[in-house]
Every structure is written in structure tokens, then in C-alpha cells.
Amino acid sequence: MNPFEKIKFMVLAAAIICPTFTACDNDDNDDIIETDATSAATYVAGTFSGDCKTVVYTATIDETQEFTITMQEDSTFTLITPAITYAQMGTTIPSFTVSGMKAELTTLNDVTIYQLSASDYTGEVVVNEETKSYTVSQLSIAISKADSTAAINYTFKYGKIPFDVVVSFNGKKN
């Protein structure tokens, strides 16, 4: 192999090998999990007011509501839902809670949010000395770290109501 071919071979080998040794990496922290509960509590815990849409079968209720999120001693969060009154049916579903949710800090579409979720949470409330059960499914909460806006969505069954109740809320922290 003549000297020109050696140089040509070395340049070609360097061109093939060099890209594998670059330090480029995706340093975007897309999946950061918030470990500082106090920081999460600053953004997540509080009362949120805004527009709430509730659908039961064919009945739709649009109203302004307040949802409250509290932090527990074990660094989990509890959602306190507002009472919902259905004038058409003469029924009021009382406020109830969903407990044990962890807050995760993540980035979605370039927006940093705290996400909380729960599936198949069952609880009981007492109404007129009668115990009624409720089951919450598909609960998702997203709270923007930048402007404290919240989106809360869930489906639940209450007492003997045969239909799912679907709730969608968009609001801002008070």
C-alpha cells in the first residue's frame, strides 16, 4: 500500500469512527420526576376555580366550580370535588375525595406540568344518614407550573345512578 492510499484509508476510517465518539446527547429532561414534595406542594396544593362541564347520559351541566387539592403527610395529594346539582333529576351528588395521588413533574408540548392520576378509586359518602358509594376512574390532573392553570378530567359512578358521570374542568389556582 503506497503512502497516499494509507492516508486515504486513515481519513476514511476516521470519518467512519468519529461520529460514534461525539458527546452529543439528548439532555432534555422530559421525564423528570419531582422528588421535592415541598416544591410540588407549592404548585399543586390549593383551590382551583373555573369552568366545569358535567355530563350524565344526555344531561349536561356547565357551571363555575372549585376543586381543592391538599397535600397529605406522606407527600401524596387528595382531590376534593365540588358538589354537583342536577335540577332535571332533582339530585345532588355531594363533594367527595380521591386520595393517594403522587405528583410527577414532566414536560408536555414544551409546557412543564405536574401530573396526578388515579384509576378505580372507591369511596363512600353519607347523605341524609345513608351511605352511598362512588367509584372514580380515568382521573387525570395536569397543572401548569408556569401559570397554575389546571385541567381535571374524570369519570365516576355514584350510588344507584346507572350511567357514568363524566367531568371536565379547566381553571386557575386562586
State the CATH number of the domain containing residue 61: 2.40.128
Contacts of 128 (CB under 8 A, 6+ apart): none
Q: Answer whether residue 3 is part of any domain.
A: no
86 lies in which domain range?
28-173
pTM for this one?
0.76
Q: Specify the higher pLDDT residue, 74 or 96.
A: 96
- Asked if residue 119 belongs to a domain, the reply is yes
What b/e readout covers 97-114, taking b as 16+ CB neighbours within 10 angstroms? ebeebbbebbeeeeeebb
Residue 91 resides in a domain: yes
pLDDT of residue 33: 46
What sign has the CA pseudo-torsion 156, 157, 159, 161? Answer: positive
Mean pLDDT of all residues in 49-77: 93
Whether residue 77 is contained in a domain is answered as yes
Instruction: Assess if residue 80 is contained within a domain.
Output: yes
Q: pLDDT-derived band of residue 108, with 50, 70 and 90 as boundaries?
A: confident
Is residue 18 situated within a structural domain? no
Of 100, 157, 92, 154, the C-alpha closest to 124 is 157
* Domain tally, the chain: 1
